[in-house]
Amino acid sequence: MENTDPLLHYTIPQLLRWRTRKTPEKVALREKDFGRWQSITWNQYFSYVRKIALGLEKIGLVRKEVLALIGDNIPEMLFMAIGTQSIGAHSAAIYQTSLPDEIADIINYLNVRIVFCDDQEQVDKLVEVRQKIPHVIRVIYEDPRGMRSYRKDDWFMNIEDLYKLGEEKENEDPDYYEKLIDQGKPDDICHLCLTSGTTGLPKGTMLTHKNFINMGIQLTKVDHLEPTDEYLSFLPFAWIGEQMNSFGVAMATGITINFPESVETAMEDLKEIGPHFMFGAPRIYENIRSQIWLKIDESYRLNRFFYEYFIKVGERAARYRMSGKKMPLGLGILAWVGKVLVTRPLINQIGFLRLRRAYTGGAALGPQLFTFYQAIGVNLKQIYGQTEIVGIAYMHRDGDVRPDTVGKPLPETECRISEKGEILSRSPSVCVGYYKLPDKTEELLEGGWLHSGDAGYIDENGHLIVIDRVSDVMHNRKGEMFSPMFLENKLKFSPYIKEAVIFGDQQDFVAALVNVDPVVVGKWAEDRGISYSTFMDLSAKPEIAELVREEIVKINQNAEKKHFRIKRYAILYKLLDTDDGELTKTGKIRRKFVREKYQDLYDALYDEKIKEKEVEAFFQYQDGQTANVKTRISFYTMEGVS
């Protein structure tokens, strides 16, 4: 049945105009600058976008050309993106943490003509690779600080000058912009969203206006949003999760998007806004939980007693809410008392008091973490999707939250499992394909279905369970299959383990490299009088190895099959990091890269005679400096695992 929602007949610029006519003086965007929140109405939003569009056309951007955005989340990112889309060109966002050569490769792949940067840091990266990006005709910047030396070069342009060009065109022909956006069609490509790039250069996913708007509509059919609701934009703008909310959800619902003063102040700014819904990667919720635990641990004994008692009550109550079952009266009363005395003040401190729903995606969260948030009154739910379907295809419903699944398909979304166990989806939010990659597009959309590349199955309740990437599923030397991601997630469910990499393909047993959580494990060590100087020093302590061993014992005891058990492990001396190429920009493990980088550790894991090994640790700091440090790393064998 065809979706006939009237909003699907608009492009994003047309929908922005519709919102402006409907509620011109309502706050659409809010930005914290120099400690104060500055509001931008829908009318002002539309005015900025109009000036940007007309200015871009005047400096030479034409239909189907690409403008790239690099920087932190600020309103101007949306002005530039939607202004670009207004003239039929394509916007594309690049992660602000990308290195100069990475940026050059992406710019050349996408044939970028104009680049927008928020500040000098990003502009300097382009200056470094200027000779490698000859097709770029202009670099536009928002923050003029530090840009004095570039002002005499026509390659650079302040956004204020772009506004002036737009105003000039507007004065010449006041109706021109309206006619311009009327030429757009909902099925036009508007944005190129980069994939995570786990196997090399990211691919540009071609998304249409309809893809984004449909996602906003279908998401809010499941979880209704009011136009008065608030959202904090703190995820990287280059990630599909942020674009989904900024382009799709905000335009479809009329909510207000808030921009923090900086990445560093985002969590503090969140407390001031008190958003009604929140979307974040698992690591964000893990970090918040760690902070809560530390605060409780440092509080008075009576406070700890009340917290521990009512958290247990809250967990029992949460299981009823998550399953949709009626709660016993006595438990309901106890849960209400706990809410008043403990959990309500607690979630108020972290800015979650008005939060009706929180979503997480990109990786699995443990049942304990789900239950913890539900116990303190945060309605945390899992979503699953990918860039190629605008972020979400499946999600939990209220009263049907099952921590081991990713929920049911969104409305207008079909799900099928292929013969080889791959998750296939079909929806109006499925992309057109990959930019300049027809062969990859054909594979992606073979048979009219979106091929996720993930293995999974649908359980008896209609919920989707994701196992792993089809290409990452491993087989031991006996040919028995296991999922490394499944085991990695099991390990990361422990509060003491931040990251883990599982090995075992074509080997006799499963082995793991583990990163301990520096905050939680650091506090654990301090409480027990275990002194340490650096993360490397902490990771090498035998007491920490024993702590990790206890967590692996729990996983092995609950393993469905013997070949799922972890036999050997080592604790890595450094945190896996995006800047070192070990994680993608969205925090996924680049397994092949990690295996090759730590080949000596991998070899030692599979030589049971090796108990300890001296290795040379390589570190690269943010300022570009490098250091080599020799350290000893221990290898541990689990008893009773064959």
Q: Which own/partner pairs from 223-226 qualify as long-range (CB within 8 Å, at least 24 positions apart)?
A: 223/277, 223/356, 223/357, 223/398, 225/249, 225/253, 225/255, 225/276, 225/277, 226/253, 226/255, 226/276
- For residues 441 and 458, state if they share a domain: yes
Query: Final residue of a domain: which of 470, 490, 521?
Result: 470
Measured CA to CA, the distance from residue 544 to residue 534 in angstroms comes to: 14
Query: Final residue of a domain: which of 404, 437, 470?
Result: 470
Q: What are the structure tokens assigned to 97, written together? A: 């943490």
- For residues 594 and 620, state if they share a domain: yes
Radius of gyration from C-alpha coordinates of the chain: 25
Sheet with strand 156-158: strands edge to edge: 156-158, 138-141, 112-117, 66-70, 90-94, 189-194, 204-208, 433-434
Distant-in-sequence, close-in-space partners of 548: CB < 8 Å, separation ≥ 6: 496, 497, 514, 516, 569, 571
Whether residue 185 lies inside any domain: the answer is yes
> So what's the pLDDT on residue 223?
94
Whether residue 355 lies inside any domain: the answer is yes
> So what's the pLDDT on residue 626?
67
pLDDT at residue 4 greater than cutoff 80: no
Whether residue 271 lies inside any domain: the answer is no
Q: What range defines the domain where residue 391 resides?
A: 280-470
Distant-in-sequence, close-in-space partners of 554: CB < 8 Å, separation ≥ 6: none
- For residues 483 and 454, state if they share a domain: no
> So what's the pLDDT on residue 3?
57
- For residues 464 and 477, state if they share a domain: no
Measured CA to CA, the distance from residue 248 to residue 256 in angstroms comes to: 13
Whose CA is closest to 52, among 64, 38, 67? 67
The amino acid sitting at 430 is V
- For residues 361 and 402, state if they share a domain: yes
- For residues 431 and 533, state if they share a domain: no
Burial of 309 (0-12, 13-18, 19+ CB in 10 A): middle
Measured CA to CA, the distance from residue 110 to residue 201 in angstroms comes to: 11
Neighbours of 271 (CB within 10 A): 14
Measured CA to CA, the distance from residue 483 to residue 478 in angstroms comes to: 15
Q: What are the structure tokens assigned to 365, written together? A: 């969260």
Phi and psi at residue 626, to the nearest 5° = -125, 160
Q: What are the structure tokens assigned to 293, written together? A: 């635990």
Task: Give, as one character, the DSSP assignment of residue 397.
Answer: B
pLDDT tens for 498-522 read: 999 999 999 999 999 999 999 889 9
Whether residue 125 lies inside any domain: the answer is yes
pLDDT at residue 198 greater than cutoff 60: no
Band of the pLDDT at 1, cuts 50, 70, 90?
very low
Band of the pLDDT at 200, cuts 50, 70, 90?
low
Neighbours of 453 (CB within 10 A): 16
- For residues 120 and 193, state if they share a domain: yes
- For residues 18 and 163, state if they share a domain: yes
Whether residue 189 lies inside any domain: the answer is yes
Measured CA to CA, the distance from residue 574 to residue 583 in angstroms comes to: 13
pLDDT (mean) for 598-608: 93
pLDDT at residue 129 greater than cutoff 50: yes
Task: Give, as one character, the DSSP assignment of residue 328.
Answer: P
Measured CA to CA, the distance from residue 46 to residue 177 in angstroms comes to: 11
pLDDT (mean) for 166-191: 96
Q: Where are the beta strands (DSSP E) in 87-246?
A: 90-94, 112-117, 138-141, 156-158, 189-194, 204-208, 230-232
- For residues 27 and 175, state if they share a domain: yes
In this structure, of 21-35, 142-156, 435-449, the range with the lowest mean pLDDT score is 142-156
Measured CA to CA, the distance from residue 191 to residue 212 in angstroms comes to: 10
User: What stretch of H or E contains 342?
Assistant: none
* Whole-number percent of the chain with pLDDT over 70: 96
pLDDT (mean) for 9-37: 96
| CATH number of the domain where residue 598 is located | 3.30.300.30
Average pLDDT, the chain: 91
Measured CA to CA, the distance from residue 280 to residue 17 in angstroms comes to: 29
> Strand, helix or coil at 259?
strand
Band of the pLDDT at 361, cuts 50, 70, 90?
confident
Q: What are the structure tokens assigned to 440, written together? A: 């990859």
| CATH number of the domain where residue 303 is located | 3.40.50.12780
Domain tally, the chain = 3
Q: What are the structure tokens assigned to 516, written together? A: 């301990």
pLDDT tens for 241-261 read: 899 999 999 999 999 999 999
> So what's the pLDDT on residue 302?
86
- For residues 314 and 436, state if they share a domain: yes
* Parallel/antiparallel/unpaired status of strands 90-94 and 189-194: parallel
The amino acid sitting at 226 is E
> So what's the pLDDT on residue 75?
97
- For residues 241 and 296, state if they share a domain: no
* Parallel/antiparallel/unpaired status of strands 422-426 and 481-482: unpaired
Whether residue 316 lies inside any domain: the answer is yes
Residue pair 266/232 in contact (Cβ under 8 Å)? The answer is yes
Task: Give, as one character, the DSSP assignment of residue 351.
Answer: T
pLDDT at residue 620 greater than cutoff 70: no
Q: What DSSP string describes 415-439?
A: EEE-TTSEEEEE-TT---EETT-HH
Whether residue 300 lies inside any domain: the answer is yes
Neighbours of 282 (CB within 10 A): 19
- For residues 599 and 478, state if they share a domain: yes
pLDDT tens for 516-546 read: 999 889 989 998 999 998 899 999 999 999 9
Place of tokens 């000039």: 168
Measured CA to CA, the distance from residue 299 to residue 295 in angstroms comes to: 6
Q: What are the structure tokens assigned to 177, written together? A: 């912009």
- The pTM of this model reads 0.83
Residue pair 15/181 in contact (Cβ under 8 Å)? The answer is no
CA angle 605, 607, 611 (to 5 degrees): 75
Whether residue 260 lies inside any domain: the answer is no
Place of tokens 């190129």: 192
* Parallel/antiparallel/unpaired status of strands 66-70 and 112-117: parallel
Whose CA is closest to 95, among 241, 213, 285? 241
Whose CA is closest to 452, among 409, 388, 404? 388
Q: What are the structure tokens assigned to 557, written together? A: 């005891």
